[in-house]
Amino acid sequence: MNILVTGGAGYIGSHTCVALLEAGYSVIVADNLCNGKEETLNKVKQLTNKDLTFYEIDVTDDIAVNTIFSKHEIDGVIHFAGLKAVGESVERPLTYYNNNVVSTMVLAKACLTYGVNRFVFSSSATVYGDNKVPFIETMDLLPTTNPYGETKAMSERILTDIVKANPAFSVSLLRYFNPVGAHESGLIGEAPNGIPNNLMPYVTQVAKGKLEKLSVFGNDYPTVDGTGVRDYIHVMDLAEGHVVALDHLTEGVHVYNLGTGQGTSVLELVNAFEEANGIKVPYEIVERRPGDIASFYADASKAKRELGWTAKRDVIAMCRDAWRFEKNYME
Ligand code: NAD
Ligand code: UDP
């Protein structure tokens, strides 16, 4: 089966390409390289000893997208391509709505035109807003606090409406919690541009000495130690979740949380990193980050029940693998 992976040169997409190739799928990647690297795809080939096809295109460009659909017999699409910096989305809403929503529409339209019935979408736990924890798929979604979150909620609604009008179309909406870590080889991983916004890449860069110390955003939240709690998930578990979601895809819209169901505080993650790697991570407590929620984690039971999928790798493995990649990674 041929799977079109948009954003396949990025962080989650490249790990999913590995999982897909290892599961026997053929992979076609469409990526404009705005935040991905062709070199990453070479590493994917090296890791799997398998080939893939790459198109450097923008997936909001319907002519370029249609060219791929007309050249290949595509069986399914996994749509990762998107911009993901929350703060930037507040400053550049039009760029985010255009990139993240128009791409979903262009790809869905191409699927309908070419009779492709399988569509897996990268959504985010951010669509739950500040809901009661644990977040469960049956919850009413609350407004998100930024355009990035809105692009995910809108894309979910657009895909849901398309299924209502086209019952043969099958869509899986995968709501990721906090993806971290790297492939166990250390060859591919997360390499953000500039100073990282997210906790784990910040921690690995402090450990490497690229950054002086971690700023812990608040220690007065109503959590186990006052610091923010998130549901960190190993990127390879997440990648494998996509393969399983694709394998199980049947008509209709299917929503799944991809998380571990386990909350970890900032300080717990720092301690786990130090324990896993034997390296100190200096930190200081600073003000809360505006817009942060105290705590969220998944109810991950639906994916287990319906897909037979659960996250297998623990926080120690996430820290060990994130560090292995950071050590190897040369800018
Ligand atoms: P990433 O930036 O590493 O990967 C995204 C890839 O998409 C990049 O390679 C980029 O070049 C490409 N891309 C972006 N816009 C494009 C366009 N218009 N046309 C073609 N290619 C384009 O990000 P990631 O962390 O791998 O995230 C993948 C998806 O998962 C995104 O949709 C993101 O919103 C979603 N997501 C990520 C997280 C997270 O914490 N990383 C959490 C929840 C959801
Ligand atoms: N965080 C932190 N320092 C940082 C980055 C993040 O203390 O430099 C905290 C943040 O406040 C949150 C947790 O780490 O409680 C996870 O943040 P991240 O940005 O990785 O994920 P998100 O908040 O988007 O779920």
- pLDDT at 330 exceeding the cut of 80: no
Closest-CA residue to 291 (of 156, 96, 140, 149): 149
Task: Give residue for tokens 């090296």.
Answer: 46
Tens digits of per-residue pLDDT, 149-171? 999 999 999 999 999 999 999 99
Average pLDDT rounded to a whole number, residues 273-281: 97
Q: What helix, strand, coil percent values describe the chain, rounded to 5? A: 40, 20, 40
Estimate the crossing angle of helix 103-114 against helix 147-165, to 10 degrees: 20
Average pLDDT along the chain:
97
| Collapsed DSSP state (helix, strand, coil) of residue 297 | coil
Are 197 and 190 in contact, with CB atoms under 8 Å apart?
no
Are 120 and 172 in contact, with CB atoms under 8 Å apart?
yes
Domain ranges of the chain: 2-182+231-259
Whole-number Å distance, alpha carbon 199 to ligand 2 midpoint, is 5
Tens digits of per-residue pLDDT, 38-62? 999 999 999 999 999 999 999 999 9
Task: Quote the percentage of the chain above a pLDDT of 70.
Answer: 100
Task: Quote the percentage of the chain above a pLDDT of 90.
Answer: 95
d(Cα 154, Cα 127) in Å, to the nearest integer?
A: 9
Decide: pTM greater than 0.85. Answer: yes
Residue to substitute in 84, 126, 133, 198 for testing ligand 2 pocket (most ligand atoms within 8 angstroms of CB): 198
Q: Which ligand is nearest to the CA of 5?
A: 1
d(Cα 139, Cα 148) in Å, to the nearest integer?
A: 20
Closest-CA residue to 224 (of 272, 263, 177, 270): 263
Record: fold of 2-182+231-259: Rossmann fold (3.40.50)
Q: Is the CB–ligand 1 distance for residue 190 below 6 Å? A: no
Report residue 250 as tokens. 């049947």
d(Cα 175, Cα 255) in Å, to the nearest integer?
A: 7
Atom from ligand 2 closest to the CA of residue 227:
15
Residue to substitute in 124, 227, 230, 258 for testing ligand 2 pocket (most ligand atoms within 8 angstroms of CB): 230
Alpha helices in the chain (DSSP H): 11-22, 38-48, 62-71, 86-91, 93-96, 103-114, 147-165, 199-208, 235-247, 266-277, 301-302, 315-328
